[in-house]
Amino acid sequence: MAKKKKPKRFYDYSLLFCIIFLTAFGLLMIYSASSYMAQLKYDGNAGYFMMRQLVIASAGLVFALIISKMDYHWYARFAVFAYVLSYVLMIAVSLFGREVNGKKRWLGIGALSFQPTEFVKIALIVLLAAVIVQMGNKVNTWKGMLFVFGLAFPIGVIVGANNLSSGIIILGIAFVMLYVACKKHMFFYGCGAAAVVAIITAGPLATFLEKINLLQPYQLSRIHVWQNPEAYAREGGYQVLQGLYAIGSGGLFGKGLGESIQKMGFVPEAQNDMIFSIICEELGLFGAVSVILIFLFMIYRFMLIAQNAPDLFGTMLVVGVMGHIAIQVILNIAVVTNTIPNTGITLPFISYGGTSVLFLMLEMGMVLSVSNQIKLEK
């Protein structure tokens, strides 16, 4: 792989288009989902949520484009620093964090506030990519795997203590990166199979775990809500049901953009985690499947970039981002459709959330930057 002068470089415009499309679609859906409640809450300002998201997403996109033109090896240097910073931020948030709905998830600096967990995700991706490159073949040994996992586990647990779903995503990212990096197969498939079995047998399993005091009663009740939201409407099934009502009333082609009724206060904070249910209601199965396919296309682009990245570091970075986006999309839709128990996960690019969209854009910048390092064969 000899270097050539001014080699023709690749830039994944498909991915870029995909990002812009999803973000724009997200803004549209945020407006649709939130305008009714926003004008009630913010004195007639129907575009309150959409405008905030628009500003941050635009800024994020600019950052992404800048990052995409940089050499991604450059920020490998900050990997350890970012990793340590993650701990600092997570400890800070659990000490000084702003409490919203009984959970300390926000760290405020002056007028700005953000969710450090989003930073943790990107920091971990960079760190693990760097570490895996450093380890070389050692990653194929049990000891090496344990080491990599050992880096992700503590921060995952700290995050998970306050935000279970983010903890799961962080461990999921590590799992996916390790899977791609190392030689072993069966171990990972075994873990995956175990997870599927756990979901299928969740009911009896949870009852059993609660009996032997491994599970708190409130966690068991979440399982009950998930399995039968109608019967446990008061314990939290109400929210789940509202989402299902929205999805169910969408039908094949939906009620039409802006025609959702469920967004009128029935689905709580419809612009957040549950936005996919409003997409279903307004755009129907057709719209929902289209959104899933666009995400799938995005993941496909990640795969292509990962496969063609100039080096392992690039591959691992993209794989990390791919895992992150994929896990979040799948879990979000699974939650909204009540396929798994309810836990707060946002839908990337579409759900309202400044921190989320900002760091997602940074990740996209990284991926585009990797794509930009791909030298095209002449």
- Residues 74-133 binding other proteins (CB under 8 A) are none
Residue among 22, 54, 148, 181 that touches other proteins (CB under 8 A):
181
Nearest C-alpha neighbor of 205 from the set 227, 185, 183, 189:
227
Smallest separation, CB 180 to other proteins (Å): 4
| Residue 374, token pair as written in the block | 């791909």
- Residue 24 interacts with other proteins (CB under 8 A): yes or no: no
Residue among 156, 236, 284, 354 that touches other proteins (CB under 8 A):
284
Would you say 289 and 265 are in contact if contact means Cβ atoms under 8 Å apart?
Answer: no
SS3 359: helix
Site string for other proteins, 306-325 (x = CB under 8 A): xx----x--x---x--xx--
Using CB under 8 A, count the residues that bind other proteins: 48
Site string for other proteins, 252-281 (x = CB under 8 A): x--------xx-xxx-------------x-
Nearest C-alpha neighbor of 360 from the set 346, 370, 374:
346
- Residue 333 interacts with other proteins (CB under 8 A): yes or no: yes
Smallest separation, CB 136 to other proteins (Å): 9
- Residue 345 interacts with other proteins (CB under 8 A): yes or no: no
- Fill in the amino acid letter for 285: L
Dmax over CA atoms of the chain, in Å, equals 68
Nearest C-alpha neighbor of 242 from the set 208, 261, 264, 267:
267
Nearer of residues 150 and 265 to other proteins, judged by Cβ: 265
| Residue 279, token pair as written in the block | 């997409």
Q: Count how many residues are written for the chain.
A: 378
Nearer of residues 107 and 273 to other proteins, judged by Cβ: 273
| Residue 246, token pair as written in the block | 């929205």
Residue 311 burial (10 A CB sphere; 0-12, 13-18, 19+):
middle
- Residue 294 interacts with other proteins (CB under 8 A): yes or no: no
Helix (H) or strand (E) holding 20: helix 13-41
Smallest separation, CB 208 to other proteins (Å): 26
Would you say 107 and 116 are in contact if contact means Cβ atoms under 8 Å apart?
Answer: yes
SS3 152: helix
Tell me the CA distances in angstroms from 70 to 75, 76, 126, one per residue in order: 9, 12, 15
Smallest separation, CB 373 to other proteins (Å): 15
Nearer of residues 57 and 374 to other proteins, judged by Cβ: 374
Residue among 190, 248, 256, 258 that touches other proteins (CB under 8 A):
248
Nearest C-alpha neighbor of 32 from the set 257, 247, 251:
257
Smallest separation, CB 31 to other proteins (Å): 17
The Cα 151–Cα 174 span in angstroms is 9
Site string for other proteins, 195-234 (x = CB under 8 A): ----------------------------------------
Smallest separation, CB 296 to other proteins (Å): 5
- Residue 148 interacts with other proteins (CB under 8 A): yes or no: no
DSSP 8-state symbol, 9: B
Nearer of residues 216 and 307 to other proteins, judged by Cβ: 307
SS3 376: coil
Interaction site with other proteins (CB under 8 A): 36, 137, 176, 179-181, 183, 192, 241, 244-252, 261-262, 264-266, 280, 284-285, 288-289, 292-293, 295-296, 299-300, 303, 306-307, 312, 315, 319, 322-323, 326, 330, 333-334, 337, 339
